[in-house]
Amino acid sequence: MATVGFIGLGNMGYPMSRNLLRGGHRVVGYDIAALARDRFAATGGEVRSGVAEVVREAEVVCTSLPGPAEVEEVYLGPGGVAETGRPGQLAIELSTIGPTLGRHLAATLAEKGIGFVGAPVSGGVEGAEVATLTIMAGGSADSFALAKPIFELLGKNIFHVDEDPGSGYIVKLLNNFFIGFYTEAVAEALALADLLGFDKDKLFQILNVSYGRSGIYQRNYELFIAKERYEPGFALGLLLKDLTLARAMAEEQGARLPIFERLLDVYRQAVEADYGPRDMAAQYLYVKALQTGRGA
Ligand code: NAD
């Protein structure tokens, strides 16, 4: 079994790294947060003191970081994957970033003989825990073949989207484009149900077998709103990050997306009102607060 490096041991990275350990790999990891490092060590991971230390030891390096800024730092910054890596290594980038950055990372690493697969995931923390993630991978056929045994320990639906290292990110941003709309629809419909005095459990029972259903209605309602718990999960701030990336992707194509623009404004206001660290299901709380004039 290979020595796998794992950088970014947060809500997604931690359960994914644990599945690699369960799969029999030796996993060396790093996270800037001490709590994340301790949790990883407690499950059998070997903590290293920085990105360079992880990259030096690993044959395959996985990253699961908040967004483009952190990904750029870890790959292209001093002591990063590009600087410290060696020919024959493989980088599997599992965060949600834009396709342009994915392509740039692939090209930079290729100059050093390091393979790259841009492989964002969907399925949430729940899916990461039980290894049922959907994985949308872009990269050369050779790199994908090398990454596949790792993917099989992390997910269930594994797609080699295209040889373009940006292709997985395109699919992922379109996925989160839907998530943005659905999450707002759930928030507004349930806030309205409350104003109507309608029982939300009964509503879910009926609509979950009607065309009003969606994976996001089920997730946001069953796992968060019904339990009145909003620990992420998938933080609202990360959703806004992904929608902003989707907007940049749309702008490059000259797309006109009128409702999406408005949606972005609504999420920006929710994040400004401090809902960013909560799970995206808390958009429901933000919309409810608007009813009483406390939202924005
Ligand atoms: P998170 O914030 O919980 O985890 C990110 C981790 O990266 C944190 O522990 C943080 O300390 C660490 N980190 C930040 N900068 C670092 C650096 N320079 N070096 C090392 N570690 C660093 O976020 P998450 O929810 O685990 O999401 C990770 C990625 O996966 C994001 O790009 C997100 O959009 C994507 N994603 C999340 C979900 C979800 O449901 N949470 C689902 C699919 C995709």
Question: Model pTM?
Answer: 0.96
Question: Ligand 1 atom 13: the closest Cα is on which residue?
Answer: 8
Assess contact for 86 and 114: CB atoms under 8 A.
yes
Domains of the chain (ranges; CATH) run 3-164 (3.40.50.720), 170-290 (1.10.1040.10)
pLDDT confidence bin for 67, thresholds 50/70/90: very high
Atom number, ligand 1, closest to the C-alpha of residue 122: 43
**107 is written with which tokens?**
């090209």
Q: From the alpha carbon of 238, which atom of ligand 1 is closest?
A: 34
Spell out where 35-144 has E strands: 46-47, 60-63, 90-93, 115-118, 121-122, 133-138
| Res. 296: pLDDT tops 80 | no
The tokens of 53 are what? 């230390």
pLDDT score at 293? 75
Report the alpha-carbon distance of residue 105 to residue 169 in Å, rounded: 13
Phi-psi region for residue 120, left (φ > 0), alpha (ψ -120 to 50) or beta? beta
pLDDT the model gives residue 38: 98
How far is Cα 93 from Cα 118, in angstroms, rounded to an integer? 5
Prior bond of 233 cis (ω within 30°): yes
The share of the chain scoring above pLDDT 70, in percent, equals 99
pLDDT band at 294 (very low <50, low <70, confident <90, very high): low
Task: Tell me the backbone φ, ψ of residue 136, rounded to 5 degrees.
Answer: -115, 95
- Give the closest residue (by CA) to ligand 1 atom 34: 96
Indicate which residue of 156, 172, 202, 288 is catalytic.
172
